[in-house]
Amino acid sequence: MEDFSAAETNQLLQAASDFASYPGVLNEAAVKEFLDRFPLPIIINALQTKVAVPGLENALVTCLERIFRTKYGSSLIPQSMPFLQVGLQADSEAVRCLACKIVSFLLENLNDISVNPSQLIVAYDIYPLLLRCLVNGDERLATASMDAVKNFAFSPEGIATIFPAESSEATDLRHMAAKCSSLGRVRILSLIVKLFSVSRAVAEKISNSNLLGLIEGEARKTDDTLATLNVLELLFEMAESDHAAEYMPKTSLLQILGGIISNASSDSILRSRAMMISGRMLCRENIFMFIDETSVLAILSAILGRLRSPETIDDSECESAIEAIGQIGSSTSGAEFLLLRSHEAVRFLGDAAFDRQRGGKQLAALDALGNIVGANRSENSILLKGEAEEILQRLIYEIASKSPKLTPSGLFLSVLQQDTEMRLAGYRLISGLVARPWCLMEVCSRQEIISKVTDAYMETSKIAMEARFNCCFSIHKALAATNPKNDSALAGISEKLQEAVKLGPFLAKKNRDAQPTITTDQRF
């Protein structure tokens, strides 16, 4: 190896291997000590020298990654930019992957206020090299380059570079997607999705650049189930972004999703995924600022169309449809819209939620109905507008009157008498519903319900104990607001609830250990 004897090469290999395999997190002092023995230029020179020394490249790559990951190592990156430039063009994918990670370390960890890392990336023309790694590398390299570009996009320089007023073919994402392989195109779409979540400014740039049109085009190609599923996974990720409600409705994506849902000949997994994505897109509180009610009704019509076809819908798709409706109803505006404009959807949930013959569908419906009544919403957002509340109350009483239980309290108790998963969903549903005085009185009218939610030994798992306690707390809080002291029966219930709340969700668990029935001296 150039400038190295065999003994020196072996010494570096051994030291780098030991450093790379050191367990735990390396502190700054350990990094400085290592670099005092083997200065960074020597390590980089050894890595760039093409000599077949078994294990050397892997050891040096891992060693450098651990060095640059630290704050001290990151402070050395600005003076190593030429290596970064060369590393991104290396023949070795391991070296290119390292270089991509170093870009991320530079952007994430550099604390020197006199150096702007994004300006360094621009000055050394790093961005085009990252894109080349994205479309031409293996999966590990593509992921590392994508992370680096996403980190770059957090800066003004990054936004200006990724979305320039006049872009060249080498960095224009639309042009690259048209020219590269199908795998490269999927990676570019994935990059767009990741960039979409960075900030509103980046999401706006993506929308204005019509980059979402690339995803629309792929989503329309429904002749390949696997390819369509890949695009739907990207849309699922995009729909989770805070900016989804504002920019996704500006495209035809919602109409495309509705078409997939309505297509009885498509694969059920595609319909299920399209339903879930639609639910995530439409669950935002501010969604009706960016989309008209007709578009939402079209999606709900497509979902209900599938639910009305029991002979062609399987259990998994049915549960996805129920969950999608519940997602839409998780926001106050969505819940009100469902109750006022799509009563059929809510009635389907209500009927399924208390039908013990439906199994997984019942569980999904209980969770979805819990969303609509506000189980996940903040305290001041649980209740809906007057007419929507009236419809909800009337719906619950109608379902109860047509069932063997006759009353809402009977329905609630029947759920709490089922298995753990159903009880969890029941606790959650009741927690949201008791904010309504009519439901509070229904719950308090059945001593069996109060006994179950106050029974500290009722549940054994952590999540179930917490759900039972939250339900108990919600009932207690709602009852306390009604001044129950004026009613002796309610006063007794309130006292029982208060004692259970004081215990907390886990305190009773401490007393479950077996106790000896005889003392040591009684054994003889």
Contact (CB, 8 A) for 198 and 154:
yes
> What per-residue confidence (pLDDT) applies to 522?
44
Residue linked to tokens 């450093």: 19
Residue linked to tokens 């224009």: 172
pTM: 0.86
List own/partner pairs for 329-333 with CB under 8 A and 24 or more apart.
329/368, 329/371, 329/372, 330/283, 330/371, 330/372, 330/376, 330/377, 331/283, 331/284, 331/285, 331/287, 331/377, 332/285, 332/374, 332/377, 332/381, 332/384, 333/285, 333/286, 333/287, 333/288
* 524 residues of the chain, pLDDT tens digit each: 455 667 778 888 898 898 888 887 778 888 999 999 999 998 998 888 766 678 889 999 999 999 999 999 999 999 999 999 999 999 999 999 999 999 999 999 888 788 899 999 999 999 999 999 999 999 999 999 999 999 999 999 999 999 998 877 778 999 999 999 989 999 999 999 999 999 999 999 999 999 999 999 999 987 888 889 999 999 999 999 989 989 999 999 999 999 999 998 889 999 999 999 999 999 999 999 999 999 999 999 999 999 998 888 999 999 999 999 999 999 999 999 999 999 999 999 999 999 887 778 999 999 999 999 999 999 899 999 989 999 999 999 999 999 888 899 999 999 999 999 999 999 999 999 999 999 999 999 999 999 999 998 889 899 999 999 999 999 999 998 887 777 788 889 999 999 999 988 886 554 555 445 444 554 43
pLDDT value, residue 51: 61
Phi-psi bin for 374: left (phi > 0), alpha (psi -120 to 50), beta? Answer: left
Cβ contacts of 7 within 8 Å, gap of 6 or more? none
Residue 437 near residue 380, CB atoms below 8 Å: no
Residue 4 has a pLDDT of 60
pLDDT at 358: 73
CB contact at 8 A, 475 and 494: no
Give the pLDDT of residue 50: 61
Question: Minimal CA–CA distance to 446: which of 478, 489, 393?
Answer: 489
Q: Which residues contact 77 (CB under 8 A, 6 or more apart)?
A: 68, 84, 102, 105, 106, 110, 117
3-state SS record for 85-108: HHHCCCCCHHHHHHHHHHHHHHHH
Q: What is the pLDDT of residue 301?
A: 96
Contact 107, 149 (CB under 8 A): no
**DSSP secondary structure string for all residues of 58-69:** HHHHHHHHHHHH
Is there a contact between 306 and 271 (Cβ–Cβ < 8 Å)?
Answer: yes
Q: So what's the pLDDT on residue 523?
A: 42
- Tell me how far apart the alpha carbons of residues 215 and 230 are, in angstroms, rounded to a whole number: 11
Return d(Cα 223, Cα 267) in angstroms, integer.
Answer: 10
- The C-alpha atoms of residue 83 and residue 409 are separated, in whole angstroms, by 71
Q: Can you give the pLDDT at residue 55?
A: 85
- Other beta carbons within 10 angstroms of residue 120's beta carbon come to 19
Q: How many CB atoms lie within 10 A of CB 230?
A: 15
